[in-house]
Structure formats: structure tokens, C-alpha cells
Structure 1
Amino acid sequence: MLKEKDNQLSIYSILYDKIPENHTLKLLRDEVDFSFINKMLEKTYCKEYGRPAKEPELMVKILVLQKLYDLSDEKVIENCSLNLAYMYFLGINPEDDLPHPSLLTKFRKSRLEGNLTIDEIIIEIINQCIEKGILQKVSGITIDSTHTEANTKKYRPERVMKQLAKKIFKTVKEENGEIPSEINQEIPDYKEIENHDEARKTMKSYLEETVSKVEELVELEKAPETKALVNNAKEILADPKFIEQRGVRSIVDQEARIGYKSKNDPFFGYKTEFMMTTEDRIITAVHTGNGAYVDGTKFDELLELTKKTRIKIPEVYGDKAYFKKPILDKISELKAKAYIPVSEAAYRIDEERFSYNKDSDEWFCSQGNKTIKKKHYIRKCGKETYNYYFDREQCRNCPMREVCITGKTVGKVLGIGINTPEFYEYSQQQKSEGFKEKYKKRACQEGKNGEMKNFHGLDRAKWYGLKSMGLQAKLTALAVNLKRIAAILSSKRRIISKHLSFLLISMVKSTIYRKFI
């Protein structure tokens, strides 16, 4: 159960006066109210029974410190017992007891596992700072994703199947007392098979036979761990991506996947997508997917979370991966301006040869010929296209005919995607100097990604699985947000201090001048 928070200061609290006024943690403690966390999580605790629990506010603050300074569970508790600034931020007295490091793991899993709680904390803190005038109420937003390496190695499918077989044998022995003699425990040596495809087929056949025998000879209802392992093995083998090396690559972390930082630069792990303000560089929403996650898939969800911060959004920035019709339409619904470069995958018009007039809905070629009609087609795959037809007579006598037209076709037919006319307008807007100058704002996203990976541990997963990775990413976002808020507060205090110093000097000079007169 939750106990009443003790606000009584001890005689040792005077030591907090030694903390500099502009220290990050002192600024945060003085300006940001974290008490809402207790109310947010009070329903997850029993009100009347059990030992008094550590306050959720305290636990979340410890997790923030852990991410802020990239510490382990043991190290953050050790530092909290020694560092005055840490104690002041936590709101405890120097002699107070701190939770055991193992309690941090329990708190993360039992109270924060859903991850939505961290989203709510991020939103509430941003709202507080907007109301106090610390953060700007109107700001553009930028979106990007960054990769995180899994906390395990990736293995070939044949190695994964060997590990699964070994784990099944070990679990059967522990739960059943012995392994039935009918089960073949001689795992094939796939390394001796030169052909990798053949090695995978051999290992797959062996594992399928092993699973079948275990189901036949072991009472799985009395062996729950064996049953779970068998079902897990069947699920992995049933995935066609597994043998193609695009599925499970580690039995320790089965949700990590292969992704690509660039065309020839793969990684094994997860991708985290952030939405962030361009003015104050505050993260408003976070989503984590496996390494194969496609950028922009959760754009709507991230935007809805950002809206809850009550920030007005006049502009949206992104890279080419976000140049998609649904995303552009969503931005248009916001009545915001999209600063997203055209993607060659979505828009393939050679603008040196063709131009478009949206008012007349006509395409023009570089030789002055124009389209005279268009037809709408729906292919068998469901994809919609337009065919624009140029005037035959002009094409017949055109000097570029041999370059432009192949085969027996008389007039040029321009086949385009259904969204190409609209994308043409975006393409023209992006050639302006104004667009290029504005787009420079997106660079703040790259800096934030680097900060989280280089200084706050987001370069590598701390735990296993998608939920744990999502929690790590959101706690990191919360920590860097608080760090940024402290920096803004410190900057504003310096400006105020300079103004006061200037006024004081002016008053002194004025007094001296009047005295001499």
C-alpha cells in the first residue's frame, strides 16, 4: 500500500544549500511538479493491505536519474545515497532509506510495463511547462527514427534451431525426470554441411521430429515449461521468414529483427520513432518497433499523443521516408505546412522532360506538346493509375520522337500514379529557397538522436523484448526532456540576472551622477 509522503525536513537538509542554484536537478525539483505521478499510479497499489510501498514519484525519479546519467540499477541507488543533488531531486532527507536495486526491476515490470504511463508523464510535464511559459505553445514538429542494437548476438537459423533443441532437452529432463529413449538427442552437426540451405533443411527436419516426439511421449499438461517451449518452437518453424533469415535470430530476444541503417548497412535490434518540437527540442511522442519497422507506420498515433500536449503545430518536418500520401493528408488536416522532401519511390517524373498544370489538368513535354485526354485504370493488384495521352500529330513530327517513344506507338502515353499530379505541386514548392532554409530546422532531430545514443544508453538495448525496449526508449525521452527543460530554465535565469545586474549598475551610476551634480 502507499504511505503518506513525509514532508518533514531533517537537520541535515541544510546541506542542500551547497547545491548550485543553476544545477540541473535543483532547477527541475524547483520548477516541475512530479506529485501527479502518485495519483496516476495509486490504483495499481492496494490501499489497505501490505507493507508501505515506495512512492511511485520517487521510483520514477530514480529511473529518470538512471537514464539521465546512464547508470545501472545498483549504481543509481549507490549514487542516490551519496550525491546531495540526487537526494534533493528525489525529495528525500540525507538519512532516509532508499529502495533496494531489485525493486527498480519489479517497479518497471509491474507498474510501467504498459508504457502508456510514461507517455502520460511526458505529456503532463510538457503541459506544465507550457502553462508556466517555460516552453513555447506554438512550434513546428519533426519526426525521425533511430536504431538500437539488441542486447544479444544474431545467429543463423540453423544455430537457433540447435539452441531450441538443447533447451527442450534440458527442460524435459528437469520436469519429466528423464528424456524418453525414443527421442533422438544426437543433434546434427550442421557445420559439416557446406551448403547453408541444406544445413537449414536438415536442422528444420530434425527439430520438427524432436517436437513431434516430445508431444507424443511427454505429458505436456504436467510439464508447462516444456509445453511453452514446444509451442514456441512450432511457432518459429511455421514462420516462412525464419528460414529466410528475416525472422527470429536469437532465442534470448525473439522480437529483435534485422533492419537497415542504409542500403548496405544492416543492424540487429529495434527502431524507435520520435516526434519532437523544433523550437524547444522537446520530445512529444515515442514509438518503438522491431528492426524491420517501416518509418511513418505509427505517424497518426504519434501525432495524437503530440496533440495532447496542446502544442499548436504550424509545420511538420521529416525526411523522404515520410513522403507518403496518408501522412501528407494528415498534415493537411492540421492546416500545417509539410516540409518533407519528395521520395523517388513515390514520385518518378522526369521534370526536365515533363511539367504539369493543375488548373487545366494537363501535362506538357519539353517540346511544347500537351496531353489531350486521360484515362483512369485499376490494375489487378488494386493499384490505381492514370494514362495521359499526348497529341499524336505533334508526336509524329517531334524531333525527340526516337528518344521518347519506342515500338509502334504513334503518340506518347504518360503513365503515372494516381497521386503524381499532387506530388508534382510538392516538388515545385521544394525548389524554392524558402523551403530549403526552413528545412534546416529538421537537423535538430539528428542531434537529439545522437544525444540519446551517445550519452543516455539508447545505442544498445538494456533488456530483451519489444515492451522492455519501448520502456527504455520512453524513459530516455523523459530524461532528455527534463535535461532540456533545465537548460531552458538556466538560460532564462541567466538572462534575468544580466538584466538585473544592468539595472543595478544603471541605478548606481545615476545616483553617483546626481550626487556630483
Structure 2
Amino acid sequence: MQPRPFPALPETTARVARTAFRKGSLYLTIGDEIGHIFDDEDFEDLYAVEGAPALSPAQLVLVLIFQALENLSDREAAEAVRARMDWKYALHLDLEDTGFDYSVLSEFRNRLVQEQGAQRVLDRVLERMRGLGLLKERGRQRTDSTQVLSVARTLSRLELVMETMRLALEELAVEAPGWLRQVAQPHWVERYSMVWRGNRMPKSKAKRAELASSVGEDGVYLLQAIADEVAPERIVHLPAVEQLQRVWEQQYEEGSVGWQWRPAGTLPPAAELIATPHDLEARYAKRKGKNWTGYRLHFSETCDPAYPRLITHVELTPALQPDVAAVDTIHQGLKQRGCLPGQHLVDGGYMVGHTLADSKGKYGVDLFGPAPKNTTWQAKQKGGITTELFQIDWERKQVTCPQGQVSSQWSESHTRHGQPTIHVKFPAATCRACLCRTRCTRSKDGRALQFAPSFPALKEARKRQQAEDFWEQYAPRAGIEGTISEAARKHGARKSRYVGLQKTWLQEILLASAINLERAARWLMGDRPALTRRSRFATVMAAV
């Protein structure tokens, strides 16, 4: 590819569009006020040095952003490039430009995914926002998460194994049809020629278990036939065959009466368990009464009153990864593009001791939100002596209780999640003689404490939460829920269009870039975020 400068706006396009949109337009504002965002050089590494001239990647990425802005299909987006003068204006295309085939968009997305080019799209948009003075240095930001459904539907365990077997047979029918005719069992045609859905499944539990066992034996028979030395060598490494092997290892075990379901307690960890053969990275998850197969999406956005609300980071994780595990990655990404906030508003799911300490120590960010509650019995009992009341001497590795007694043991280890933790014990004889024993410990061996090195940060967060103005300072965090709702309802953020985590992440990056361009354009047009709507009745009664 030979990079070309971003084209100048054709005179005819400018004249006709400005005549047609006398009161202004979102896309005209993007073209005029926001202006130059991308260069071909930004995506030069996506293409071969030699070959046929490529369509301008700087224009193609704008098309992908506009597509996300209006939640269009590839065909609809390609048609909009041909038919809409406001798009032609923002893209600097001549009115007579005939556009391109819709398949170009899919090919360009694949290039962005394969060459890790997704993040640079949002980075360039944020650079332009900074150049326009729309990003505040070390301001306030807020983050929240939501679920993203895989493009594949959620399957039961029985549907999973039957669909996995069906896909393996479909691929073998293409790659080795003659061999498959020789090994296929007569009943396979009826059982695996169509997709099985819930309404076709046996109704009784016993019959479903019988079918599951029979499907398990079918899969084992097929895998053994594939492993036989007379089978074509190439079929062993077919994706659908390798997938069949993995699913069978996860779902079945050989019993005394054939292949049976693994009991729930012997299944692999949920993070490793394949949920659908159509998207091997999607995982089944449950949270707050909702269950889905897919991923988890984190949006971070600015929330300073004198600036537009701009999305600064998009993080897509496996569905089962807790929110707290994303905090460091989010801050690292914000640091790389110079967008770290001074204060970061989050809900309780992101607030634990080590995220509080690391945010402040590594990034200079004040992680602000409701701290985890102390759930010990001492915290629930009136006058209970909680860990917060003990004085910790980190240098001497000693702890002093409220009665002035000093600990006798200090040991360090790690939790099952790999986080460092400290264990402290007080002499049993000292605790037995203490008048405060009933409010401090129920153990015969004396008071024992367990806390993390980050405990001081957690203690400070709990103390801050008791301040009168805490919830007033925390209130702006709720605005991120509105952004997520807008992204989901208007742009389809909660439903993946593509297979795989990386392609879905690109979808969300483009969507975030689109929201940023729209919000920046509206801001430059004088349109400011409105306050929460209040009914006339509520307004009248407030004056009483």
C-alpha cells in the first residue's frame, strides 16, 4: 500500500451538502469542526508493501465508525457511502463516488484484528479530542461493566455435545467424504443432520441421560476412527475434530456402563469450560439473576462538568472474570494514552484493598467508591473490636491491640487467588485474661488477625465512606450506566456481531469511537448534556 494524504473536501460536495443542510448536521460538524483524525500511515502496517492500490484505510475506519454510530450492517454501510451526501461530506468523497463492495469492510476489520490495530482507532480519536481541548488532564472518570452476549446462542450440555458432534461430521464431510461414508453409523444421519434445539430434546430426565450417553459413545467411536492409522492424516488436526476432543474430555467420563456425563463437581473450572462450539472463547456466566454466554464489557468515561463525556477506555474480558481483575489493566491502558484520571468513580465490584493501594501507588489515581464491608462478627456486634482498631507496626512486624497488648506471631503467605496476606496471633494466655475478650475473640487460642499489605488503603476507604458528603461525591458515577444503556439500546453493545473476543472487542472499540465523535460534535454544536428530567408536577410540589 502507498499511503496517501487524506483527500481535500471536493468543492461540489461541500456546496451541495451545505445547501441541503442549512441548519447544520452531525456529519457536517464532524467533517468541519473535528476534521482530520486518521492518516493512511496509521494503518500502513496492515497492508503489504507491494500490490494493488488499497482503498484509503483512513476513510475505511471512518466508515466503520459511522456504521457503529448508526448500528448498520455491512451492506447498509456500503450503501450509505454511495447514497448519503452527509457521509460523503465527512469522508471527503465526490458526490459521484460509487463507493465499494460491502465485503471490503469485513476484510478491513480482519486486518485490524490480525495486526492488533483495534486500539489505535480509539487512541487517534482521543488524540483529536485532546487537540480540540475536550479532554481534561487528571480529571474525574467513571467505570462500569455489562454483559455482552455471544453471537452464538446459549446451549444446554446436551445441545452442546450434539452440536459439537454435528459440526465435526459437517467438516469431515467436506474434507474426507469417502472415509466418512465407511465409518459413519446408520443412525447418525437422522441424529446429526439437523441442529437440535430444546423442543426436539427428550422430555424426561432419564431419556435425556440415555441420549447423552449414546452421543458420548458416538463421539468416542468417531475419535477412535480418526486416530486409526488407516484414517487420512490431515483430519486429525481439523478444528472441528480438535474441538470434539476437547468437549468430550470436559463433558464425559468412561463408566461401567459406557460413556456418562461427568458429575457437576468433576467438570473443569467454569473459566475453561467450552460453552458453545461456535465461539470457543465465549463462556457461560451468571450474575445478579442474569445468565448469558459471551463476555464482559467495561466502559470508562470522563465526567467533568465543563467537558463532554468521552469514553477513554474499552476493556472486554471473559464473562467470568470479576470486575476487580480489570482495574489494573484499565489504569495501565489509560496511562499509555495519557488519560489517567485524578479520581476514578467505580462501584463496589472494583473496590478491594489491593486495587485501592495499587491505583494510588502505581498510577496516582484515587479509586473512589463504596468499600467492601467488614463482615466479621466483631463488626456486627455493638462495641466489637474490629481489625481497624489495632495498630500495625509494619517495620517491626508487630500489632498492638486496643488494650495495649502486642502480638506474638507474624507470618506471611498468599491467598488462593495469589494475593499476599499476613497472619497475626496474640498470646492465648494474654487474651484469656483480658476483660474485653467477649468483644474481641471466641477462640481459646487467643485473637488471630488476617489482613493484606493493602489493608491501610482499605481502612482509609471505609473511613472516608462515613463522611457526610461521600454519597454526594459518589453520585456522578451513576452516569456511566446511562452511557452503557445508550451503547446497548442505540448501538447494540450487548450483542456481539462476530465470533471471538478480539473481533467483539473491535466492535466495542468502534462503538466507543462513534459515541465520542457524536458527543464531541454535539458539544461543538452547542448541545450540552441535559439535567435529569423533572415532571411539571414534581417541579410545582418542590416549591411548596
C-alpha separation between the residues in 1 aligned to 2:176 and 2:392?
77
* Aligned twin of 1:485: 520
Q: Is the 8 A contact 2:409 2:424 kept in 1?
A: yes
* Aligned twin of 1:432: 467
Of 471-480 and 165-174, more deviation after overlay is shown by 165-174
Match of 2:367 among 338, 361, 376: 338
Deviation at 1:132, TM superposition (A): 2.9
Indicate the SS of the match to 1:331.
Answer: helix
1:85 partnered with 2:86: yes
C-alpha separation between the residues in 2 aligned to 1:167 and 1:220?
18
* Aligned twin of 1:43: 45
* Aligned twin of 2:34: 32
C-alpha separation between the residues in 2 aligned to 1:134 and 1:381?
43
Deviation at 1:8, TM superposition (A): 6.8
Deviation at 1:310, TM superposition (A): 2.5
C-alpha separation between the residues in 2 aligned to 1:357 and 1:378?
18
* Aligned twin of 1:155: 155
Indicate the SS of the match to 2:205.
Answer: coil
| Counterpart code for 1:230 | V
* Aligned twin of 1:387: 424
Instruction: Give the total of aligned pairs.
Output: 483
Match of 2:202 among 166, 188, 191: 191
C-alpha separation between the residues in 2 aligned to 1:104 and 1:227?
28
- TM-aligned CA distance change 1:2 to 1:344, over 3 Å: same
* Aligned twin of 1:417: 451
* Aligned twin of 2:144: 144
Q: Is the 8 A contact 1:376 1:387 kept in 2?
A: yes
Q: Which has the larger radius of gyration?
A: 1
C-alpha separation between the residues in 2 aligned to 1:83 and 1:257?
40
| Counterpart code for 2:468 | E
Unaligned 5+ runs, structure 1: 495-517
Indicate the SS of the match to 1:163.
Answer: helix
- TM-aligned CA distance change 1:385 to 1:42, over 3 Å: closer
C-alpha separation between the residues in 1 aligned to 2:79 and 2:375?
53
Deviation at 1:327, TM superposition (A): 1.9
* Aligned twin of 1:99: 100
- TM-aligned CA distance change 1:417 to 1:46, over 3 Å: closer
* Aligned twin of 1:501: none
- RMSD of the TM alignment (CA)? 3.4
Unaligned 5+ runs, structure 2: 192-199, 253-260, 394-398, 530-544
Q: Kindly provide the CA deviation profile for residues 230-263 of structure 1, in whole angstroms up to 9, marking residues without a partner as x.
A: 222112223469965842222222221112331x
Deviation at 1:341, TM superposition (A): 1.7
Q: Is the 8 A contact 1:158 1:204 kept in 2?
A: no
Q: Is the 8 A contact 1:62 1:76 kept in 2?
A: yes
Q: Kindly provide the CA deviation profile for residues 60-103 of structure 1, in whole angstroms up to 9, marking residues without a partner as x.
A: 11111111111111112223333222211111111112111111
Indicate the SS of the match to 1:433.
Answer: coil
C-alpha separation between the residues in 1 aligned to 2:414 and 2:149?
40
Match of 2:490 among 455, 463, 479: 455
Q: Kindly provide the CA deviation profile for residues 282-335 of structure 1, in whole angstroms up to 9, marking residues without a partner as x.
A: 111212123212213243332222123323521122111212333222211233
Deviation at 1:415, TM superposition (A): 3.0
Q: Is the 8 A contact 1:376 1:384 kept in 2?
A: no
- TM-aligned CA distance change 1:300 to 1:451, over 3 Å: same
| Counterpart code for 1:54 | L
C-alpha separation between the residues in 1 aligned to 2:41 and 2:481?
35
Match of 1:209 among 205, 212, 221: 221
Indicate the SS of the match to 2:228.
Answer: helix
Q: Is the 8 A contact 1:376 1:385 kept in 2?
A: yes
What pairs up with 1:301-316 in 2 under 5 angstroms?
A: 301-311=329-339, 313-316=341-344
Q: Kindly provide the CA deviation profile for residues 196-227 of structure 1, in whole angstroms up to 9, marking residues without a partner as x.
A: 66654553343122211122166333447x73
- TM-aligned CA distance change 1:8 to 1:440, over 3 Å: closer
Match of 2:245 among 218, 226, 234: 234
| Counterpart code for 2:309 | R
Indicate the SS of the match to 1:113.
Answer: helix
Q: Is the 8 A contact 1:371 1:391 kept in 2?
A: no
TM-score, length-scaled by structure 2? 0.78
Deviation at 1:162, TM superposition (A): 1.6
- TM-aligned CA distance change 1:115 to 1:301, over 3 Å: farther
Q: Is the 8 A contact 2:30 2:90 kept in 1?
A: yes
| Counterpart code for 1:356 | L
C-alpha separation between the residues in 2 aligned to 1:268 and 1:152?
8
TM-score, length-scaled by structure 1? 0.82
Deviation at 1:492, TM superposition (A): 7.8
- TM-aligned CA distance change 1:157 to 1:240, over 3 Å: closer
What pairs up with 1:54-133 in 2 under 5 angstroms?
A: 54-109=55-110, 111-114=111-114, 116-133=116-133
Indicate the SS of the match to 1:251.
Answer: coil
* Aligned twin of 2:293: 268
What pairs up with 1:171-186 in 2 under 5 angstroms?
A: 171-178=171-178, 179-186=180-187
1:258 partnered with 2:269: no
Q: Is the 8 A contact 1:183 1:214 kept in 2?
A: no
C-alpha separation between the residues in 2 aligned to 1:47 and 1:250?
39
C-alpha separation between the residues in 2 aligned to 1:292 and 1:85?
42
Q: Is the 8 A contact 1:143 1:273 kept in 2?
A: yes
* Aligned twin of 1:513: none
1:356 partnered with 2:389: yes
Indicate the SS of the match to 2:297.
Answer: strand
Q: Is the 8 A contact 2:283 2:319 kept in 1?
A: yes
1:442 partnered with 2:489: no
Indicate the SS of the match to 1:303.
Answer: helix
Indicate the SS of the match to 1:39.
Answer: helix
Q: Is the 8 A contact 2:431 2:437 kept in 1?
A: no
C-alpha separation between the residues in 2 aligned to 1:139 and 1:73?
37
* Aligned twin of 1:220: 232
- TM-aligned CA distance change 1:424 to 1:197, over 3 Å: farther
- TM-aligned CA distance change 1:209 to 1:388, over 3 Å: same
Deviation at 1:13, TM superposition (A): 3.9
C-alpha separation between the residues in 2 aligned to 1:14 and 1:465?
44
| Counterpart code for 1:82 | A
Deviation at 1:12, TM superposition (A): 5.1
C-alpha separation between the residues in 2 aligned to 1:277 and 1:335?
17
* Aligned twin of 1:509: none
C-alpha separation between the residues in 2 aligned to 1:115 and 1:296?
29
Q: Is the 8 A contact 1:256 1:268 kept in 2?
A: yes
C-alpha separation between the residues in 1 aligned to 2:203 and 2:471?
57
* Aligned twin of 2:355: 327
* Aligned twin of 1:473: 508
Indicate the SS of the match to 1:36.
Answer: coil
What pairs up with 1:272-283 in 2 under 5 angstroms?
A: 272-279=297-304, 280-283=308-311
